[in-house]
Amino acid sequence: MSTTTLSAPDAPNAPDGPADGDMLTLRQDALHPAIADPSMDSMRILSETAMKFPEALSFSSGAPYDGNHDLADLSFHIDRYVKHLQERGVPQQRITRLLFQYGPVNGFIQDDVAQMLRNDEDIDVPAEAIMITHGFQEAALVALRGLFSGPDEVLLSVSPAYVGIRGAARMLDIPLEAVDEGPQGLDPEAVAAAARAVRATGRRPAALYLVPDFSNPSGTVLPLQARRRLLEVAAEEDLIILEDNPYGLFAPEGEAMPTLKSLDTAGRVIYLGSFAKSAFPGARLGYLVADQPVTGADGATRTLAQELSRAKAMFSVGSSSLSQAVVGGILAENGHTLRPATRELAAVYLERLQVTLDSLAEHFPPEDHAEHQVSWNTPRGGFFLTVEVGFEAGLGEMERCARDYGVSWAPMSMFHIDGGGERQIRLGFSNLAPEAIREGIARLARFINHTPRA
């Protein structure tokens, strides 16, 4: 393992700094093993690809469309939230304190989020069942920290999976077991089999992670029947389901599926929400819905979200007041429903999806599949689709493609927990305009056609 200097001065001859030889040098292998784990680097690699190859058109990330932002919206929405509080009779002094002071650990816009969840997702929970978090990522860390108490407890995860959940589990030393998904997402019977297999090794499968709607990375959607069956399996196998749903809003009109949380009558689901795609990722705001009652040693009962606030306090003290005010303002301005407000955005993504599918079909006619060996899935919405190619498409190939052909993508193998996806690539089309998509797929086609099948 290499030795990494973690604190080398930027300027070797800086007059005030210590001389080079005096600088403390740490060995990377003396740090927590998660730090050196290559799987922990996926998020950084994907987000930095664009910077490394500025000329390349990027299908690498799932960055949302950002052509509709206006700086003035930030102050408008903060003012809108202040007005919303004033209308509810909150005194000015309290509003000022709310925005400037340390705030409640679980946040102060839970009421607004609860209303939104009732309107948009048919999820009916009290504000006390909601914790406002620093994005999905903190919600996952908090939930995992709370649910997992020993080394024999295992997180089952859909595979391929979003790199954020894998990293969160790795950070907390929580072992992961993959449950491979098919074209229709997770098979509930495969989940049951995986839970039993874990139990047969003397360990306990404590929870299951999945993205039922337009999964990242594959774009799959779990059918309704499978959702119902998955909830039964969760009860039979004593699993908590961690439902991650950043893309559900971006379904075609009339095709939105009920969330697992809205179908859950037995308290089996913890819902992990994000405002990264429905508002904007710079807010770094998300939330956790955990309405399960928890009884303490004192006999008092609180929601799991309230109980987990101890973990949240130690991760981040509380979520940003400014971000909560901006998102609270967006919710108030839109009558606490983001479905109509995001229809235009959904249309942008649906058009981009269609252009990507059409461009692929133009360059790789399905009737010539035996020759080009290129095929892809056809998601109904979301930000991603999967392309199968006739050769191994890892990071090296992606970099070659970005450098020599001017287009980047994500190797699907980066998202697989137990290996797999070596001949697949993920195309994230959300932040490319239709013209750029057409040009990007033309470049990708040149790369694929010039790469020997193997």
Alpha carbons 218 and 384: distance in angstroms, whole number = 6
Closest distance to ligand PLP from the beta carbon of 64 (Å): 9
Of residues 136 and 349, the one with the C-beta less far from ligand PLP:
136
Shortest gap between Cβ of 304 and ligand PLP (angstroms)? 20
Cβ of residue 185: shortest distance to ligand PLP, in angstroms?
13
By beta-carbon proximity to ligand PLP, the closer residue of 137 and 262 is 137
DSSP summary character for residue 50: H
Six-digit token string for 402: 């970005």
Question: Shortest gap between Cβ of 19 and ligand PLP (angstroms)?
Answer: 41
Q: Contact residues for ligand PLP (CB under 6 A)?
A: 62, 135-137, 162, 164, 211, 216, 244, 246, 274, 276, 281, 286
Minimum distance from CB of 334 to ligand PLP (Å)? 19
Yes or no: say if 199 and 152 are a contact pair by the CB < 8 Å rule. no
Residue 18 CB, nearest distance to ligand PLP (Å)?
A: 37
d(CA 431, CA 345): 11
Distance CA 411, CA 395 (A): 6
**Which residue lies nearest ligand PLP, judged by its C-beta?**
135
Task: Name the E strands within 81-233.
Answer: 130-133, 153-159, 176-180, 204-210
Q: Which residue, 306, 270, 271, 336, is CA-closest to 106?
A: 306
Residue 141 vs 304, nearer CB to ligand PLP:
141
Q: Rounded CA gap, 438 and 356, in Å?
A: 7
Give the closest residue to 384 by CA, choosing from 425, 423, 416, 347: 425
Nearer residue to ligand PLP within complex by CB, 82 or 311: 311
Residues 6+ apart with CB under 8 A from 306: 106, 128, 294
What is the smallest separation between the CB atom of 280 and ligand PLP, expressed in angstroms? 10
CB nearer ligand PLP, residue 181 or residue 244 = 244
Smallest gap from residue 216 Cβ to ligand PLP (A): 3
181 vs 169: CA distance, rounded Å:
19
Q: Which residues contact 302 (CB under 8 A, 6 or more apart)?
A: 128, 293, 294, 296
Which CB, 164 or 381, lies closer to ligand PLP?
164
Rounded Cα distance, 310 and 207, in Å:
20
For the bound state, the minimum distance from the C-beta of residue 269 to ligand PLP, rounded and expressed in Å, comes to 15
Closest CA to 191 of 217, 170, 164, 212: 212
Nearer to ligand PLP, 211 or 345 (CB): 211
User: Which contiguous run of DSSP H or E holds residue 384?
Assistant: strand 384-388
Shortest separation between residue 214's beta carbon and ligand PLP, angstroms: 9
SS3 content of the chain, % helix, strand, coil (to 5): 45, 15, 40
- How do 153-159 and 204-210 pair as beta strands? parallel
Vertex 25, ends 22 and 29: CA angle to 5°?
Answer: 165
Residue 86 in contact with residue 95, Cβ under 8 Å? yes
**In whole angstroms, how close is the CB of 219 to ligand PLP at the nearest point?**
11
Output phi, psi for 358, to 5 deg. -65, -40
